[in-house]
Each structure stands twice: as structure tokens, then as C-alpha cells.
Amino acid sequence: MSMESAGMVPPPPYLQEPGDRPNTTWSDWETRFTTFLTAIGAAAYSAARRKALLLHCVGAEAHRVYRSQPTVTKEEGEDEDDTTLRQLRLFYTPQVNVVVERFNFRQRSQRLGKTTAEYVAALHGLAKHCKFGVLLEELIRDQVVEKTVHPILRERFLRNKDLTLTTLLQQVEAFEISIRGSKMLEASDSLSAGAPVQVATLGTAQEPELQEACVMMANSSQRGNNSTSLRTCFNCGETGHLSRSVQCLAKGSVLP
């Protein structure tokens, strides 16, 4: 069965062009490639065919580098493709400084907004090259106890001399679920209560147009109620002003 007919797609090349930088570590690429081999049933292929498949998938530049390197000695029990894979692994896997790897592990704190399960997953990734061996889960447990964002749980953890990583994760999960439920309930109560209503105060500096309109209405009302506007001038006979007003055109004369 061909790769196309099986619907299987190989991983992207590890290194295709000269000068390129790999988009992933060699360890991750090798894991994806071996998974691909299993998916297509490559165990039934000959060793030469599996080697050809490896050199095809790894990319043109990685293939060129492989050809330029001295061939490593085949170990007992290795097939041809196993030796090729080991040679590529030795070339593309950098030397690990365990001191640096462990320092980075110890410096990693739990970040706000991340669950403890996500934090533990990150610690597992950082511990990959720390060579903790059988102490791995205990050291991750200790790191969570020290760096947790839940101080109230830290006190509970420290009182439990038989605490395991599994037990810790169970307790934290229940605690974090209760926190999320409480926050959702508070948000729901806030929406049910409704937002506070803002009432504008008449005549405040925030409402100048409204204040001006009110002043104009007041002035208009005062003018409408002014008794002078209803009186008749003795000079000209017009209403709206008195005989002594400057508005009178017949000021100084007397009506016939």
C-alpha cells in the first residue's frame, strides 16, 4: 500500500535547504518519523527501503550532511536504517549541559492564568534533559509545592508527608474547579443585579448645552411675566415699553 493510498503524510523535512534552521528539535522530528513508519507498516519493508525512506523524508540538506560525514560503525543487532538514524541523531543532537537544564527547571514558576496541570506538563518538558531518573515525579511534585500560585494549598501539601504527584494533582484540580465555578457565579450575580444607572445633575459642567437651555427658558419666562411688556407708551401708543424708554421713537412728543 502506497503512502498516498493509505492517506499518510510524512513529517515535514528536518532540514531542506542550506542555511535553514530546523523548525523543531531532532528528538521531536525523529519521534514523528518513527510514528509515521509505524502508521504505514514500514516494519514489513526491507532495511534498505526504510533507510531510503528516512533519507528522503529528512530533507535534501540533511541528506547532503549525512553523505559528507564518516560512516559510523554498525552496532550489533542494528539494521542498516537504524545505523543511519543513529548517525543523524549524533550529528543533530546538541550536547546537553545538565547543570543548565536543571537550573532552568528549578527557575520555572507557575504562571498566572495557567492551571496546575498545564504547569506540570511544562515541567515535564523542561525535565527531559535533566536526567532525574526515578526521582522525576518527586522533583516535579516538590517544584509545584514551592512555585504554586495557590498559597493556601501549599500549606495543605506540606502537612501531608505521603503526598504524591498524583494526589497533588487531584487536590489542585478540585480546588481550581471550585474557583472557576465561584467566579462564574459572581459574574452571573453581577449581571442579574444590573449595571448602576448614571443620573445627570441638571446644571453641571458635564451638561453645558442643557444648562444653557435652562437659562434661556428661565429668561424667556421672566420676560413673558414682566408687567412692562404689557404696558402702553403714552407718547406713541405702542405696547412693550414706557414713555421714558429709549425704544420710543416719539419720545419728547405728546399724543394728540
**What pLDDT is recorded for position 252?**
52
**What pLDDT is recorded for position 212?**
47
Strand partners, 232: 239
**What pLDDT is recorded for position 193?**
57
**What pLDDT is recorded for position 6?**
57
**What pLDDT is recorded for position 194?**
57
Q: What is the pTM of this model?
A: 0.50
**What pLDDT is recorded for position 94?**
81
pLDDT, mean of each 10-residue run, the chain (256 residues): 62 92 92 95 94 96 92 89 94 90 96 93 94 96 96 93 96 90 68 52 45 47 50 63 61 48
**What pLDDT is recorded for position 71?**
84
**What pLDDT is recorded for position 95?**
83
**What pLDDT is recorded for position 217?**
47
d(CA 235, CA 97): 113
**What pLDDT is recorded for position 254?**
44
Domain boundaries, the chain: 3-92, 98-182, 202-250
